[in-house]
Amino acid sequence: MESGTEARTEGATAITDAKKRYRAGVLKYRQMGYWEPDYVPKATDTVCLFRITPQQGVDPVEAAAAVAGESSTATWTVVWTDRLTACDTYRAKAFKVEPVPNAPGQFFAWVAYDLVLFEEGSIANMTASLIGNVFSFKPLKAARLEDIQIPPAYVKTFKGPPTGLIVERERLDKFGRPLLGATTKPKLGLSGRNYGRVIYEGLKGGLDFMKDDENINSQPFMHWRDRFLYVMDAVNKASAATGEVKGSYLNVTAGTMEDMYERAEFAKDLGSVIVMIDLVVGWSAIQSMSNWARRNDMILHMHRAGHGTYTRQKSHGVSFRVIAKWLRLAGVDHLHAGTAVGKLEGDPLTVQGYYNVCRDGFTRQDLPRGIFFDQDWCDIKKVMPVASGGIHAGQMHQLLDLFGDDVCLQFGGGTIGHPGGIQAGAVANRVALEAMVKARNEGLDIATQGPEILRKAARFCSPLQQALDTWGDITFNYTPTDASDYVPTPAVAH
């Protein structure tokens, strides 16, 4: 790759003479000490990679220095009160700038942050710096936090997932295959009694989990207590009918923490193994619910409602891989991380990158998957990624091939919309899943032989045949908006 933009021009480097540096007035950010091309990040530094689009005429190095400044100590003018502090150590340091391949006007900027800058165990504090003011800064047309490397010293200030995918499997007694779920549909309008019917049919038919949708809280058509009572009746009935541990993610998202705690306590009293919250509740609420889940042996499901507003566009926002890293530290057990083949945004390699962030013990730099940094997870527990949104049994080989066993596959419409009914839909998905896992273990190449494996399984399972007849040709092959800058990848072909 081309070497970085050199800082050559007048006033390009930090002013070291203190008298000149702190004279009242306005200096360039790089003159103030936010650009240090020779800086080598310490093992305790957090390193961020920003994609920046400077305004016309703004030098990329100055823009990178401004990002470092505005996300750490800087204000727009020189302040003498800096001199009351060890300000050199508090300044974030931009240390590398490179043009983004094949993206005129965009630059990657690497910025290092000292460990002292972030309160231990607080994603809220870290995000207030890293994605605070800086994203509205006028000299930048756009900015995106692409990736982050969090040092072990900071990772260890978080407790991480309350349960983790290994212990989740032990509690559920489910091993060696993806978990299978479905989101109850329609999302809105069902009464508690009707809602529980969908739960019972899906679980008895063979699913491990059913799920509240993100916007089911406590509306006039179904108050939360009513939902919880009927759902847990369905869960227990289905468990007795199958001999398996079953669950249904009870969404405890509410207007206040007090309400969320009340709902979570009720879910626990009724014997639920899992509760869920939406990403829109915010970082502090997520960490509080994580603590609650840890105290109460509860699996905590995270629905990433709202993330698309800031993760999807490549030029501006925060990459989902960064959100996934923060959520693993904040402590969730399940996280929606994309399907690659379904109805929602997701380039296959990029999505695999999110999955790796959730599940790795140590994540290696992997540019085709959008992973810019090594990340040591310091034995923090693993998050179970969830694939949900417009997927069906006919894609089982692609899903298993892309994501492996440690994933929860959720077929909402693909279960409930089955022509033979909800139980038949569940059977179709479970048979497709088990047949595909078995075939893969036997050494077959499921990526190419998948459709044939499904057809063969459908010979002894008419619900699967019906599912393939109904949805076999449904694909969502649109070009992803967020693919790696290093290898262009097409959407998964059917």
Residues belonging to the active site: 185, 303
363 binds another protein (CB under 8 A): no
Residues 406 and 367: their CA atoms lie apart, in Å, by 22
Q: Cα dist. 49→12, 111, 192, 291, 487 in Å?
A: 21, 6, 47, 30, 18
Q: How far apart are CB 239 and another protein at their closest, in Å?
A: 6
Kind and range of the H or E element at 223? none
177 binds another protein (CB under 8 A): yes
In degrees and rounded to multiples of 5, residue 184 shows phi and psi of: -65, 130
Smaller CB distance to another protein: residue 91 or 397? 397
Out of 122, 191, 239, 313, point to the residue binding another protein (CB under 8 A): 239
Smaller CB distance to another protein: residue 33 or 205? 205
Cα dihedral 457, 462, 465, 467 in deg (nearest 10): -120
Burial class (CB in 10 A: 0-12, 13-18, 19+), 329: buried
Out of 173, 220, 256, 493, point to the residue binding another protein (CB under 8 A): 173
Residues 32 and 18: their CA atoms lie apart, in Å, by 10
Residues 104 and 255: their CA atoms lie apart, in Å, by 44
Which residue carries 């007849």 as its tokens? 469
Who contacts 432 (Cβ-Cβ below 8 Å, separation ≥6)?
Answer: 393, 394, 396, 454, 457, 464, 467
Q: How far apart are CB 185 and another protein at their closest, in Å?
A: 20
Residues 253 and 250: their CA atoms lie apart, in Å, by 9
Stretch that binds another protein, among 337-345, 363-371, 424-432, 478-486 (CB under 8 A): 424-432
Stretch that binds another protein, among 110-118, 138-146, 241-249, 445-453 (CB under 8 A): 241-249
206 binds another protein (CB under 8 A): yes
- Residue 244 is given by DSSP the state S
133 binds another protein (CB under 8 A): no
Out of 58, 100, 166, 491, point to the residue binding another protein (CB under 8 A): 166
Ramachandran region, residue 160 (left: φ > 0; alpha: ψ -120 to 50; beta: rest): left
Smaller CB distance to another protein: residue 314 or 328? 328
Quick one: the chain helix, strand, coil %, rounded to 5?
40, 15, 45
Closest to 355 in 3D by CA, of 341, 380, 334: 334
378 binds another protein (CB under 8 A): no
Out of 325, 382, 397, 418, point to the residue binding another protein (CB under 8 A): 382
Who contacts 321 (Cβ-Cβ below 8 Å, separation ≥6)?
Answer: 146, 147, 353, 354, 357, 370, 371
240 binds another protein (CB under 8 A): yes
Q: Where are the alpha helices (DSSP H) in 151-256?
A: 152-155, 164-172, 192-205, 224-242
Stretch that binds another protein, among 27-35, 100-108, 164-172, 384-392 (CB under 8 A): 164-172
Positions in 254-283 near another protein (CB under 8 A): 269-271
Smaller CB distance to another protein: residue 181 or 346? 181
Strands, E assignment, 86-184 = 93-99, 107-113, 140-149, 179-183
Out of 133, 291, 309, 441, point to the residue binding another protein (CB under 8 A): 441
361 binds another protein (CB under 8 A): yes
Smaller CB distance to another protein: residue 206 or 394? 206
Smaller CB distance to another protein: residue 33 or 161? 161
460 binds another protein (CB under 8 A): yes
Between 73 and 92, how does the x/- string for binding to another protein read (CB under 8 A)? --------------------
232 binds another protein (CB under 8 A): yes
Size of the site for another protein (CB under 8 A): 46
- Please give the residue ranges that form the binding site for another protein (CB under 8 A): 166, 169-170, 173, 175-177, 204-206, 225, 229, 232-233, 236-237, 239-245, 269-271, 361, 379, 382, 423-424, 426-427, 430-431, 434-435, 437-438, 441-443, 457, 460-461, 463
